[in-house]
Amino acid sequence: LEVAPGAVHVPDWLTLEQQRQLVTACRGWATGPVPIRHTKLPGGGVMSVRTVCVGWHWRPYAYTRTADDVNGARVAAFPDWMVALGRRALADAYADETAAAGYTPDTALINFYDAQAKLGMHQDKDERSSAPVVSLTIGDSCVFRFGNTETRTRPYTDLELASGDLFVFGGPSRYAYHAVPRILPGTGDPATGLRSGRLNITMRVTGLDD
């Protein structure tokens, strides 16, 4: 389902078993080496979403290998199985095996939303690469607001992302404004291993070396 050029929604892409395995992996990362936290914002606030990273550690405007704003530890390595999952995501969303084979995500931001958490309109511009972003949802559904590249206001489209859904944002959609205005509590299947809340995994290419 192409929502906009380069923005493709594939409902129910992950099997229940894959969702359970991702929940288990994310639970492991949430406890360390860098524990999941509410990211501090430059203005002094904190995000309502909790985030843990693998590959590179993200904080507003920077990707680093060590979590200097949390506990100083080096982030967990980005696993090869996640590179493979990202490539399969691109292959399925874009039906382009060549693009998929050339896609090597090196970081994932794992966001956990409780019933009250939300994410305001923003663009993802901290990566030095314009390669696509792969997004996976597990647990409760959310309202996802997909906007335009020019402004953080209308026109935008609201859609629901549900457990197992894949969304790929590439091409002209890579720098679109987007937000998560609300979570729909109680919509997840506890068989995923998540009893409440929403887990979102986004894979990215930072374009950084080391």
Question: Which residues form the interface with ligand MD3 (CB under 6 A)?
Answer: 109, 111, 119, 124, 133, 135, 167, 169, 173-174, 176, 178, 180, 200, 202
Reduced to 3 states, what is the DSSP secondary structure of residue 63?
Answer: strand
Region class of 85: left (phi > 0), else alpha (psi between -120 and 50), else beta: alpha
Query: Within 10 Å of residue 8's Cβ, how many Cβ atoms?
Result: 23
CB of 176 to ligand MD3, least distance (A): 5
d(CA 136, CA 89) in angstroms, rounded, equals: 9
| Nearer Cβ to Fe ion (78/169) | 169
Q: Is residue 124 involved in binding Fe ion (CB under 5 A)? A: yes
Tokens of 170: 């590439």
Q: For the chain, what is the largest distance between any 2 Cα atoms, rounded to a whole number of angstroms?
A: 44
| Nearer Cβ to ligand MD3 (25/133) | 133
CB of 84 to ligand MD3, least distance (A): 20
Binding mask of the shown chain, residues 79 to 118, with x at each position contacting Fe ion by CB under 5 A: ----------------------------------------
| Nearer Cβ to Fe ion (103/146) | 146
b/e code 20-55 from CB counts within 10 Å (16+ = b): bebbebbeebbeeebebbebeeeeeeebebbbbbbb
Cα 176 vs. chain centroid, distance in angstroms?
15
Q: Is residue 126 involved in binding Fe ion (CB under 5 A)? A: no
CB of 90 to ligand MD3, least distance (A): 14
Instruction: Give the binding site for Fe ion (CB under 5 A).
Output: 124
